[in-house]
Amino acid sequence: MISLTNVKKVYAGGVTALNNVSLHIDPGELVGIVGPSGSGKSTMLNMLGTLDQPSSGSVRIDGHDVGGLSDTKLAALRATRIGFVFQHFHLAAGVAVVDNVADGLLYAGIRLGERRERAAKALERVGLGHRMNHRPHELSGGERQRVAIARAVTGNPSLLLADEPTGALDSTSGATVMRLLRELHEMGTTVVIITHDGDIAKSLDRQVHMRDGGITRDSTREHALIAEARR
Amino acid sequence: MTSTLQRPPRMSARDVLRVGAVGLRTRPMRAFLSSLGIAIGIAAMAAVVGISSSSQADLDRTLSALGTNLLTATPGNTLTGEQAKLPVESEDMVGRIEAVQEVSALGHISEAKVYRTDKVPEEQTNGISAYATRLDVLSVTGGEIGRGSWLNKATDDYPATVLGSVAAERLGVREPGVHVLIGNTWFTVVGILDEVPLATELDTAALLGWPAAQTYLNWEPHPSTIYTRSADAHVHTVRDLLGATVNPEAPNEVEVSRPSDALAAKQAAGEVFTGLLLGLGAVALLVGGVGVANTMVISVLERRSEIGLRRSLGATRGQIRTQFLAESLLLAALGGAGGVLLGALVTAGYSAYQMWPIVVPAWALAGGLGSTLVIGAIAGLYPAIRASRLSPTEALATT
C-alpha cells in the first residue's frame, strides 16, 4: 500500500524534516505514527498523503510512484484513493453537514445527486444520519470530527490518513472517533493515524515511533522478535 | 491493489457555479459591496447611454412632427455694420419661388414695449418683443395654441394679442381675457401659445395682427422674419435662392437658417457631454473592478485552509483556479446585472419625467454585461493563480 524508500525532506532554510526514512505499510494495516512535535511526523503525513514531494528518495502509494506524477494525476490519486481527517476538522461553516460530506466526492467527477446520496450513507455509517441538515457550528467537536471522517470515507478510499484526529476532542468523543477508525480498518481500509498521544498509539496494531526526522522504533518488528524469542 | 489512475471527469458547469458561489454565500455583505462598485459603474454608463438615446428619440419625434423643411430669412448686417432691413415686398417675392409651398412673416415692432400694467417702470421690458404677425405663422412654424384662441380675420384689426409661452409667464398671464399694455395701447390677450421648438422667437413674443399694428402702434410694415415651407426634396434649392429673392440688391444682408438644423446641432453638442459622462462611468467601472480584485485577493488569503482542504480532497491546481475565477466572474456579473437594471430604471424614470420616449439600447445593456465579465476575469485572474499555486501543506498548516 505504502512504500517509502530512503525518503529525505529538506525544507527551504536547511531544516531536515525527514532523514533517510524507509517505511512499508501493507494494505489493511492499522498503523500509528507516534512522536513529539518536531519529530517529522507531520512531514510524514504530507509524504503519505502526496501533499508534498520528497527532496530525495521514492514514495509509492497504492502502486504509484508519487515523484513521477503530474499535478492532475496526484489530484486524481487523492480524490479516489486517499481520505484525510484533520485535527481541526476543516468543515465549511454555514454549509449543511450533508453537503460538507458530499464535497468529499466533488473532485471525483460524481454528479451532485449521487454525491448527496453517498454522503447520506456515509453519515449513517458514522452515526450522524439524524444530523444531515445541521450546520457544523450546531454540532459538538466529536460530531464534527465524525462528519470529517464521513467526508474522508465517502469515496471509499483505500488509504485513510488521520492527523491527530482526537487532538481537539475530550476523551469520550475521542474514544468514539477511535472506535470509528478501527471499524473502518476492520472493513479493509488501510488506516494511518498520526499522533503524539502514546496511549492512542498503544491501542493500535503497529506503532512507528519517530524522533528528529527518523524512525526510532517500529513495534511490529519488536513483536516479531519477541515471538521469535519465545519459540 | 495497483490499478491505473484514471483522471476524473471535468467538473460540470453547475458544480463550477456552486463552488464559485461558496465565497458569496459565506460572506454575502462583502460580495454585495464589491459588486456594488461594479453596479454603480455600469449603471452610470447604461443611464448615460439610455438618457442620451431617449433624448435623441425625442428629438427625432419632434422633428418628424414639426418637419425639417422650415427655412427662415432674417435681416443680417449691412456692409457698414448697421442692422439691415428686409424689403417690404420680400414676402411676395419669396412666395413666387416655385418650390415654396407656404410663406409667412413676422414684423418686429421695435418701438413698442410690452407691460402688464402702466405702473411698471418703462425699462422693465422683461425681454418681451411685440411682433405683427401674419395669420398663418402658426401653421407654418408648427406652433400650437395652448389656451384661448389664435388671431383671426376679426381680431386681426382689433387691439388683441396672443402671447408666447414665456412671455405669458413673465407677464404673469395665466388665462386669456386680461389686458396688457403694448406701446401706449391696451390690448386684450386672446390666446397663449405652447412652446414653439422651431421658432423660439415666438416664445417671448406678443403677437398682434398686421393691420392692428399699423392702426394702433403707427408701425411701418416691414417683415423681420420670413418663414417658408417647401417640399423636403427642394429645401436645399430654396435655401440657396432665398437670400437673393428676399433682397436682390443685397443678398448678403439676409441670414437664412434652418431651425431644425439648430435643434440637431444642439443635440450633437450634448453628445460631446455624453461622451464625457460615459468616460466617467468607465472610470467608476474600473474602480469597481479594482474593488473586486481586492476582495478576491483578501478572500484567497483568508481561505488558505479551505484551499488546502480542497487540494487534499483531490482538487487540481486548475480546479482551484477555476473556482476563484468563477467567484470573481460571479461577483462582476451580479454587479453588472444590478447595474444594467439600475441604469435602465434611471433612464426610464428620467425619460418619463422629461416626457421622452423611453429608449434603452440593447447594445448598451449587452455591452455593459459583457464588459463586467471581462473586468471580472481580469480582476480574478491574479488571485486565482495565486490560490492555485498555494502548496497544500502550507495552506493546511495555517490553522
Question: Which residues of B are less than 8 Å from A49 in CB distance?
Answer: 312
Distance from CA of A224 to the nearest CA of B (A): 26
pLDDT surpasses 70 at B216: yes
Q: What is the pTM of this model?
A: 0.77
Contacts of A102 in chain B (CB under 8 A): none
Give mean pLDDT, residues B210-235: 90
| pLDDT higher than threshold 60 for residue B2 | no
In angstroms, the CA A3 to CA A1 distance is 7
Segments of chain A with pLDDT less than 70: 221-231
Q: Residue A125: helix, strand or coil by DSSP?
A: helix
Q: Do B316 and A108 touch (CB under 8 A)?
A: no
Is the Cβ pair A107, B313 closer than 8 Å?
A: yes
Nearest-by-Cβ selection for A62 from B2, B14, B319: B2
* Counted domains in chain A: 1
Q: What is the pLDDT of residue B1?
A: 43
> Is beta strand B205-209 parallel, antiparallel or unpaired with respect to B129-133?
parallel
**CA-nearest residue of chain B to A93?**
B26
Mean pLDDT of B339-344: 92
Would the pLDDT of B11 be above 70?
Answer: yes
Q: Give B50 to chain A, closest Cα distance, Å.
A: 41
Q: How much is the average pLDDT of B302-314?
A: 92
CB contact under 8 A, A158 and B1: yes
Substitution target in A29, A51, A88, A151 with the highest count of B β-carbons within 10 Å is A51
Closest residue to A78, CB basis, from B7, B306, B312: B312
Residue A62 backbone zone (phi > 0: left; psi -120 to 50: alpha; other: beta): left
State whether A107 and B319 contact (CB < 8 Å): yes
CA distance B322 to chain A (A): 13
Residue with cell 446520496: A117
Q: What is the pLDDT of residues B138-185, one digit of tens each?
A: 989 988 999 999 999 888 889 999 999 999 999 999 999 999 999 889
Judged by CB atoms closer than 8 Å, whether chains meet at B314 and A79 is answered as: yes
How many Å apart are CA A28 and CA A26, to the nearest integer? 6
CB spacing of A108 vs B314 below 8 angstroms = yes
Q: Is the pLDDT of residue B377 over 90?
A: yes
Q: What is the pLDDT of residues B267-301, one digit of tens each?
A: 777 777 888 888 888 888 888 899 999 999 999 99
User: Considering chain B, what is the average pLDDT of its residues?
Assistant: 88
Q: Which of A41, A44, A106 to mutate to test the interface with B (most CBs of B within 10 A)?
A: A106
* Mutation choice for A interface testing from B10, B30, B313 by most A CBs within 10 A: B313
CA of B7 vs chain A CAs: smallest distance (Å): 6
Do the beta carbons of residue A137 and residue B36 sit within 8 Å?
A: no
Residues B58, B342: Cα–Cα separation, whole Å? 22
**What pLDDT was estimated at residue B270?**
76
- Interface probe, candidates B6, B15, B24, B312, chain A, greatest A C-beta count within 10 A: B312
Mean pLDDT across B222-232: 90
The nearest alpha carbon in chain A to B21 belongs to A95
With a CB-CB cutoff of 8 Å, which residues 266-305 of chain B face chain A?
305
CB contact under 8 A, B1 and A92: no
User: What CATH number is given to the structural domain containing A80?
Assistant: 3.40.50.300
Tell me which chain B residues have a C-beta less than 8 angstroms from the C-beta of A108. Answer: 8, 314
Which pLDDT score is estimated for A101? 94
pLDDT at B3 over 70: no
pLDDT of residue A37: 85
The predicted pLDDT at position A221 comes to 54
The percent of residues above 90 in pLDDT, for chain B, comes to 43
Q: A197, A118, A127, A210: which is closest to A162 by C-alpha?
A: A197
Cβ of residue B314 closer than 8 Å to a chain A Cβ: yes
Q: Rounded to whole angstroms, how far apart are CA atoms A79 and A50? A: 11
Summarize the confidence of residues B81-102 as an average pLDDT.
86
pLDDT in tens, A72-110: 999 999 999 999 999 888 998 888 999 999 999 999 988
Mean per-residue pLDDT, B337-351? 93
What does residue B340 show for φ and ψ, rounded to 5 degrees?
Answer: -60, -45
Interface test with B, best of A66, A70, A84, A151 (most B CBs within 10 A): A84
Q: Do B8 and A109 touch (CB under 8 A)?
A: yes
Asked if B80 reaches chain A (Cβ–Cβ under 8 Å), the answer is no
Its ipTM equals: 0.91
Q: Please name which of A78, A46, A59, A83 lies closest in space to residue A1, comparing C-alpha atoms.
A: A59
Please judge whether B10 and A106 are an interchain contact, meaning their C-beta atoms are less than 8 angstroms apart: no
Residues B63/B197, Cβ–Cβ less than 8 Å: no
3-class DSSP state of A110: coil
Rg (C-alpha) for chain B, rounded Å, is 34
pLDDT band (50, 70, 90) for residue B399: very low
Cβ A51–B311 below 8 Å, yes or no? Answer: yes
Domain boundaries, chain B: 13-63+264-396, 69-260
H or E stretch at A228: helix A219-230
pLDDT tens-digit map of A212-230: 999 998 887 566 566 566 6
**Contact: A72, B18; criterion CB under 8 Å:** no
> In which domain, by residue range, is A70 found?
2-230
The rounded distance, in Å, linking the Cα atoms of A11 and B393 is 12
Distance from CA of B5 to the nearest CA of A (A): 7
**Residue B317 with chain A: CB contacts under 8 Å:** 71, 75
